[in-house]
Amino acid sequence: MAEKFQVVVIGGGPGGYVCAIRLAQLGLKTACIESRGILGGTCLNIGCIPSKFLLNYSENFHKAKNFSKMGIEVGEVKLNLDKMMQNKNNAVTDLTKGIEFLFKKNKVTYFKGIGSFNSANKISILDKRNKQTIIEAEKTIVSTGSDPVSLPGIDFDEKKILSSTGALSLSSVPKKMVVVGGGYIGLEMGSVWSRLGTEVHVVEFLDHITPGMDKEISKEFMKILIKQGLNFHLETKVESIKKKGNGVTIHTADKQGKKNIYQSDVVLISVGRKPNTKHLKLKQVGVKLDKKGKVKVDKNFQTNIPNIYAIGDVIEGPMLAHKAEEEGIAIAELIAGQSGHVNYDVIPGVVYTTPELAYVGKTEEQLKNENRSYKVGKFPFMANSRAKAINETEGFVKILADDKTDRVLGVHMIGSHAGEMIAEMALAMEFGASSEDIARTCHAHPTFSEAIKEAALSVDKRQIHS
Ligand SMILES: Cc1cc2nc3c(=O)[nH]c(=O)nc-3n(C[C@H](O)[C@H](O)[C@H](O)COP(=O)(O)OP(=O)(O)OC[C@H]3O[C@@H](n4cnc5c(N)ncnc54)[C@H](O)[C@@H]3O)c2cc1C
């Protein structure tokens, strides 16, 4: 007899595991199936966490090499890449084990294996030893995430032709790396290896980096990254990538048709991610996908098959861990009869470079396209006393507010601690704050967050310190 569950979650990433825990908290008999054999998904294993680990360690290495400029004399600073990678792996293991503990604590049944639909209510689990288990599910939530996309005809070997996964685990520091794609993952990984000594070239098809983000911030970001030593080749298309000897040859053409050839030790292809539905046998049960291969859902995450739902990277929306988590909680609460909800207007995003880039809400370009009248308030960290005191003065805060109501529509910042400070703005937007509300909120002195208050004051041209 197949074991019966009220809800089965396929995929143990931030969408799936958070959803499973919330379902169990709400008293539903829940199982979660994960094919990797380790919980945490892309985020914990090959995404957010290892990349942030390497960003932090490489930044410390870079800082340590420059201590003498601050008047701190230390001995020769040397890189031990093996140890750095080992520490990264240990941090990942600790976190993934933590989720297994949370599953036990909340009584979520955990199956290791590939989940697929036998029918709308019967799920098959195929483990590593090819042993098949069938379970019954009243409802199933697909949370199988995404995989990196390559360029047509080019396969990742994760040694010379890398996806982000390979770029997180290189065993030596390459002399040269070409990053194809100027999105946040490519720039984060490019920054890591640049700080560790690699000559990094970013090739981007568009005329700007970080597509979709506020263009003024993107421009400032690129200027800062150039100062740090990254090289950019915009409006440039990769025509071919071939492995040659110990490296790779990359042929490109720019907008004017001028061809270029790069010899590089490695190439990181970072041009996006695609939904992962490959093992699910969705066709068998009739679940519809959209043109991009994402699982089609309605506003309650329900597919066209009433007892099958989907969340996270495998559905429409920004491919971000916290978006997947919010959806996981919302669907669990909806299934339990509560009123789960995700506010897609207030999903923050952060790029964890130095300095950080963070945003929430609409960009100036979006507001222009929507023909909305808006006011802009800006404040540079150069005029912020804390930033001056610790010599981290790059960047600025930009607030976009409705021209008539003053309601905050979007906040974009680049600067130290931007990734933490954006939470204040997300909360403000959730509460429908006006720029005046933010301007009248007392911010501690001296803090970076005073730049937010000043940017809010600047919406009505009454900032004090610039
Ligand atoms: C290098 C990198 C850095 C990133 N940094 C950030 C960041 O800083 N902040 C941020 O918010 N996001 C970041 N992301 C994106 C983030 O990792 C994803 O948005 C997030 O993991 C999506 O969660 P998910 O649960 O939808 O899918 P996933 O995390 O991809 O999890 C899906 C899980 O389902 C499993 N699975 C797939 N098919 C089956 C099956 N048939 N049966 C059983 N299990 C299956 C997979 O093994 C996987 O573990 C980063 C991604 C990368 C690659």
Six-digit token string for 466: 């610039």
Amino acid 379: pLDDT: 98
Q: What is the mean pLDDT of residues 167-195?
A: 98
Tell me what percent of the residues of the chain surpass a pLDDT of 70. Answer: 100
Please state the rounded mean pLDDT for residues 154-158. 97
Is it the case that residue 173 has pLDDT exceeding 90?
Answer: yes
Cα(12) to ligand 1 centroid in Å equals 9
Whole-number Å distance between alpha carbons of 388 and 449: 13
* Distance between Cα 7 and ligand 1 center (Å): 21
Contacts of 368 (CB under 8 A, 6+ apart): none
Q: Give per-residue pLDDT as tens, 441-454.
A: 999 999 999 999 99
**Ligand 1 atom nearest 52 alpha carbon:** 8
Query: From the CB of residue 377, how many other CB atoms can be counted at a distance below 10 Å?
Result: 25
The pLDDT score that the predictor gives to residue 1 is: 84
**Which residue's CA is the nearest one to ligand 1's atom 49?**
41
Please tell me if the CB atom of residue 41 comes closer than 6 angstroms to any atom of ligand 1. yes
* 18 in Cβ contact with 43 (< 8 Å): no
CB–CB of 110/31 below 8 Å? yes
Q: Is 341 annotated in the active site?
A: no
- Confidence at residue 311, expressed as pLDDT on a 0 to 100 scale: 98
The pLDDT of residue 462 is above 90: yes
How remote is the CA of residue 314 from the centroid of ligand 1, in Å?
A: 9
Does 166 contact ligand 1 (Cβ within 6 A)?
Answer: no
Query: Which residue's CA lies nearest to atom 12 of ligand 1?
Result: 320
Single-letter code of the amino acid located at 71: G
181: nearest Cα among 141, 219, 211, 153: 211
**Rounded distance from Cα 14 to ligand 1 centre (Å):** 7
Task: Give the nearest ligand 1 atom to 39 CA.
Answer: 49
pLDDT digits over 23-70, tens only?
999 999 999 999 999 999 999 999 999 999 999 999 999 999 999 988
* Ligand 1 nearest-atom number relative to CA 314: 26
